[in-house]
Amino acid sequence: MDYINGTINATVLEMKFQITNINVKPAPLVADFSSRGPDPISPGVFKPDILAPAEDVLAAFKPDDSSSNGDYVPTQYMLESGTSMASPHAVGVAALLRAVHPDWSPAAIRSAIMTTAITIDNARETIKDQFNGGPATPLQFGAGHINPNRAMDPGLVYDLATQDYIQFIRGLGYNMAEMATIIRGTMWSCLENSPELNYPSFMNIIPGNDTSFPKTRNFTRGLTKVGDGPEDYHAQIEVPTGMKIKVVPEFLSFKGERDNQMFVISMEIDAELFSSGSVAYGFLRWVGSKKPHLVSSPIVVALQ
Please report whether residue 183 resides in a domain.
Answer: no
pLDDT score at 199: 97
Please report whether residue 246 resides in a domain.
Answer: yes
Please report whether residue 286 resides in a domain.
Answer: yes
Kindly report, residue by residue over 235-258, the tens digit of the pLDDT: 999 999 999 999 999 999 999 999
By CB neighbour count within 10 A (0-12 exposed, 13-18 middle, 19+ buried), where does 185 fall?
exposed
Kindly report, residue by residue over 177-230, the tens digit of the pLDDT: 898 898 887 777 777 777 789 999 999 999 888 888 999 999 999 999 998 899
Please report whether residue 182 resides in a domain.
Answer: no
The CA distances from residue 165 to 24, 74, 169, 205, in Å, are 42, 46, 6, 21
Q: Does residue 47 carry a pLDDT above 90?
A: yes
pLDDT score at 68: 54
Kindly report, residue by residue over 125-164, the tens digit of the pLDDT: 999 999 999 999 999 999 999 999 999 999 999 999 988 9
pLDDT score at 62: 74
Q: How many domains does the chain have?
A: 1
- Are residues 299 and 283 in contact, defined by beta-carbon separation less than 8 angstroms? yes
Can you give the CATH number for the domain in which 82 is found? 2.60.40.2310
User: What pTM was estimated for this model as a whole?
Assistant: 0.89
Please report whether residue 265 resides in a domain.
Answer: yes
- Are residues 117 and 142 in contact, defined by beta-carbon separation less than 8 angstroms? yes
Alpha helices in the chain (DSSP H): 2-5, 83-100, 106-115, 138-141, 148-151, 162-171, 176-183
Alpha carbons 268 and 218: distance in angstroms, whole number: 9
Burial per residue of 191-202, b for 16 or more beta-carbon CB atoms within 10 angstroms, e otherwise: eeebebbbbbbb
Expressed as residue numbers, the domain containing 215 is: 2-6+8-160+197-303
Please report whether residue 192 resides in a domain.
Answer: no
Please report whether residue 165 resides in a domain.
Answer: no
Please report whether residue 263 resides in a domain.
Answer: yes
